[in-house]
Amino acid sequence: MNPDKTVFLPLLEKLAKCDETVVREQAARSLTVISESLSDAEMQNVFTPLVVRLAQAEWFTGRISSCGLFYHAYARSNAQKERLRKKFMELCQEDTPMIRRACASKLGQFSTQLDKQHVIQELLPIFRQLSQDDQDAIRVLCLESLIPMAGHLTKEENQVHTLGTLLAAGEDKSWKVRLCFAKNFAKFADAFGKEITDNNLIQTFTLLLNDNEPEVKNAAITSLSHSLKNLSTEKICNLLLPTLQGSYIDSQVPFKAGVALALCEMSAIVGKDYTFNKVMPILTDLLKDDNSDVRLNVSSNMGKLADVIGVDLLSPSFLSILSNLTKDSQWRVRMSVFELIGDLSVKFGREVFMKSLESIFMQYLTNTAASVREMGISKSRELAASFKGDWILSSFVPKVIDNYNVEKQGYNYRMASLSSLAEVLPYLQKDQITEKIVPTFIKATNDKIPNVQFTVSKILAKNRQYIDASVYQSTIIPKLKDMSQDADKDVAYFATVAIKE
């Protein structure tokens, strides 16, 4: 036996019994780490007896520490497995609540090491007993332990042995237990499978969407989006959607935001007609909500409906709402809307964009928030890549240049126009750039605002390869040389860099 591996075990055993919780827990973690490097003989002759001694300790602290060690000792304890099982079950029935609580937290983990027959015949009766404990903290831990335990059992075994306990927890008198059910519903759905979830669990879960405790409702709606894969279209349409229609109006912000995400996720399951007639009215209502977080969550997820509804998504009422949201008081909402418009435009194509979305989208050029303008600039490049030169020359460039030339226009907006023109250069011919865009760049070199001047210098330096070399040399270089002598240091520096480039 290598003493290096076991020499600390007696000391850690002593520390695992001490009164200080932090020390005790760290000692248990250290014992766990050491156990992973022990040989089978060391596990059977040294570690397993240590676990049993802790489980039999006179003071409750040692017994608490032992609860987390059974899982690590059991697999390699050979002839001592039955002894460990019995000792663990004795701890589960202790009078001291803290010990029962420790057992409840480790019950599921420990069950995954046991043979099915031992889980069903020995551990499950203890589990059901703990799940009805007077202390709601123990019932909560027991419910959390059900997740790995249910994954260890078959769907048929779960239906017979654990389903009743889970359903009871969903209607527990303690809101903390119901909260645990709501938070972990997606995990329960995965563990129990689609059939049980759809036939049994969803009815109990739906009650939590109308729970009197707001925290439970919020946790339930958060879990819903992750649970849809285990639900049938029938249950979503006939049970969940009617519930959501009646529960979101007077709810808290997190619940409304969760409803928005869940509805967008549902659309792919329930199909076009149901989405258009049932889901869209709710989302449209949420887009008008007083809270910006709700509006942001809707606008951030509306793109998911495009694949389901198609161009019909762009109804006059929806376009009106989009237009209003580009003026929203919260810049994050505005940025999300311009991102949505850009994504929808690429998806639906040039004709739909020019007919329905272009006038709304181009408002990014005069948005007061820099991040929103940057989003529009980024989406302009995507649109240019998708729609190509005809649209760029006939529609985009004229509008951007008109925006640049507006008298008394804020210099930030002129910079946005210059950056937008730079984004479409890769998709134009050099003669087109010379005729349509270079004059605006030349005009910018004479701008009264230094920020505009050095912005155009940086653009020219970065995009020189797209501009005809002779034009650059004869028309642009003289302007850059003039700016390189400017009294403003930034203007002079970036102009000099552009010349060198």
Name the one residue in this structure whose structure tokens are 């390869």: 465
Task: Give the rounded distance of the alpha carbon of 459 from its chain centre.
Answer: 36
Q: 281-336 pLDDT, tens per residue? A: 999 999 988 899 999 999 998 888 888 999 999 999 999 999 999 999 999 999 99
In whole angstroms, what is the distance from residue 68 CA to residue 62 CA? 11
Q: Evaluate if residue 5 carries a pLDDT over 80.
A: no
- pLDDT confidence of 114, banded at 50, 70, 90? confident
**401-442 tens-digit pLDDT:** 999 999 878 899 999 999 999 999 999 999 999 999 999 999
Q: How far apart are CA 491 and CA 484, in angstroms?
A: 7
- How distant, in Å, are the alpha carbons of 391, 440, 463 from that of 467? 20, 13, 7
Instruction: For the chain, list the domains and their CATH numbers.
Output: 246-311 (1.25.10), 314-424 (1.25.10.10), 429-501 (1.25.10)
Q: Give this prediction's pTM.
A: 0.78
pLDDT of residue 73: 85
Of all residues in the chain, the percent with pLDDT exceeding 70 is 99
- Structure confidence at residue 3 (pLDDT): 53
What integer pLDDT is reported at residue 482 of this predicted model? 92
CA of residue 230 relative to chain centroid, distance = 19
| pLDDT at position 68 | 85
Arithmetic mean of pLDDT, 216-233? 92
Is 28 a residue whose pLDDT tops 50?
yes
Rounded to whole angstroms, the Cα distance separating 31 from 15 reads 10
Quick one: how far is CA 124 from the chain centroid? Answer: 35
Average pLDDT of span 234-246: 89
Average pLDDT over all residues of the chain: 90
What pLDDT shows up at residue 1? 44
What pLDDT is attached to residue 180? 95
- Predicted confidence (pLDDT) at residue 380 exceeds the cutoff of 70: yes
